[in-house]
Structure 1
Amino acid sequence: MITPDQTLHDFVLTLLTDDAARSAFAADPGSCLSAAGLDDITATDVSDVIPLVVDYAPRAST
């Protein structure tokens, strides 16, 4: 779930782990970023940091 005042890292982590958030972002990135309090971030910025977040995201244990 996308919540106000998230860090960019938290926002991207949510996109990676939450299908509904990912769908909402795909439909309207600007609104999702604004709702998260990330008005100064663009969809391109999000795309640029996804690889960095993936590198540091906790792994699900098997």
Structure 2
Amino acid sequence: MSYGDACPQNLLVPADQPDGFVAIDWTASGLVAAGDDLGQLLIGRAHSGELGARSSRTCANW
């Protein structure tokens, strides 16, 4: 089972629990390849400028 839409905008951090998060928008959830959510999250963070230069180059080549 995969979340399917792991972008920074869909992962909310509650003010009273800063070490946790809540995933919203589960419409894309389902069975996908292992690592799909992590890959999508990294690409989303690269596009928003939240990753360093080295990580951004890695994502661009991926």
| Length-normalised TM-score, structure 1 | 0.35
Q: Which has the larger radius of gyration?
A: 2
Structure (1/2) with the larger helix percentage: 1
Structure (1/2) with the larger strand percentage: 2
| Length-normalised TM-score, structure 2 | 0.35
